[in-house]
Amino acid sequence: MTRAPIAVALDAPDLETAARWAALVTPHVSTVKVGLELYLRYGPDVIASVRGASGVRVFLDLKLHDIPNTVAAATRAVARLKPAILTVHAAGGPAMVKAAVEAAPGIQVAAVTVLTSLSDADLAKIGLQGPPEDAVRRLAALAVGAGAQALVCSPQEVTAVRAEVGPGVTLITPGVRPVGSAVQDQARVATPERALADGADLLVIGRPITGATDPGAAAAALAAALRRTLPES
Ligand SMILES: O=C(O)c1cc(=O)[nH]c(=O)n1[C@@H]1O[C@H](COP(=O)(O)O)[C@@H](O)[C@H]1O
């Protein structure tokens, strides 16, 4: 059976927990995501630990954001770990996104548009007036123009971003919350079914899975729900 297009965010306090979560969810999902918390604590070794014997795709979410020369060097430094996906901030500008893409042949560079934790009011405070969708579309076009093959946006903007960049770009959506989810600290959210129906290619889901008593069962249930949304997947 095809694994569900979910990247489980392994935002764990220690390596043992992350590796355990990865082993539990890997039969059900296509990807696991390593972020700043784990990478800054354990460094490159964390990738092999969560990849384990299954060889699951690893999404390295470092959200690089610096001058192009520094981002290119940082990208080369992590490229040897062979993550399937690496994040950079689109707000770093076209030269920075291009530098990352050129430094990492074989790795999908995903440009983060506007963080899903930011609301309209937050964006106004950092000088981005207007609906988040406007900034997301602008950053999406910038990043794809610079060579990014993937974008990170909230599920609320998937339809607009798809219209902006066309069918060939992978759209990755965090801010995914199943109905009744207790974790509500993201500003721009939608259910997994809605995100997928709107055209997202990969759903990033963390605490709704990893906070469950049985993360493996939670991942299996979400995967089954998504199969009902897209029966052919
Ligand atoms: O790049 C990301 O993965 C990301 C971008 C974004 O805009 N919002 C966002 O929440 N994320 C990540 O997605 C994950 C969401 O986790 P949960 O909120 O627990 O589902 C976290 O690991 C975040 O770092």
User: Is 125 labeled as ligand-binding?
Assistant: no
Give per-residue pLDDT as tens, 139-165.
999 999 999 999 999 999 999 999 999
pLDDT in tens, 50-89: 998 788 999 999 999 999 999 999 999 999 999 999 999 9
pTM as predicted:
0.96
**9 ligand 1 Cβ < 6 A:** yes
What's the 148 CA to ligand 1 centre distance in angstroms? 19
If you measure from the C-alpha of residue 200 to the centroid of ligand 1, how many angstroms do you get, rounded to a whole number? 15
Which regions of the chain are under pLDDT 50?
Answer: 233
Residue-wise DSSP of the chain? -PPEEEEEE---SSHHHHHHHHHHHTTTEEEEEE-HHHHHHHTTHHHHHHHTTTT-EEEEEEEE-S-HHHHHHHHHHHHTT--SEEEEEGGG-HHHHHHHHHH-TTSEEEEE-S-TT--HHHHHHTT--S-HHHHHHHHHHHHHHTT-SEEE--GGGHHHHHHHH-TTSEEEE--B--TT-S----SS-B-HHHHHHTT-SEEEE-HHHHTSSSHHHHHHHHHHHHHHHSTT-
Question: According to the model, what pLDDT value does residue 232 have?
Answer: 57
Confidence (pLDDT) at 66: 98
Residues marked active site are found at 61, 63, 66
Ligand 1 pocket, 112 CB below 6 A?
A: yes
Give residue for tokens 């964390």. Answer: 46
Query: Whose alpha carbon is nearest atom 4 of ligand 1?
Result: 174
Q: What is the Cα–Cα distance from 62 to 44, expressed in whole angstroms?
A: 12
Give the whole-angstrom CA distance, residue 186 versus residue 209: 15
What are the φ and ψ backbone dihedral angles of 110, each rounded to 5 degrees?
A: -105, 125
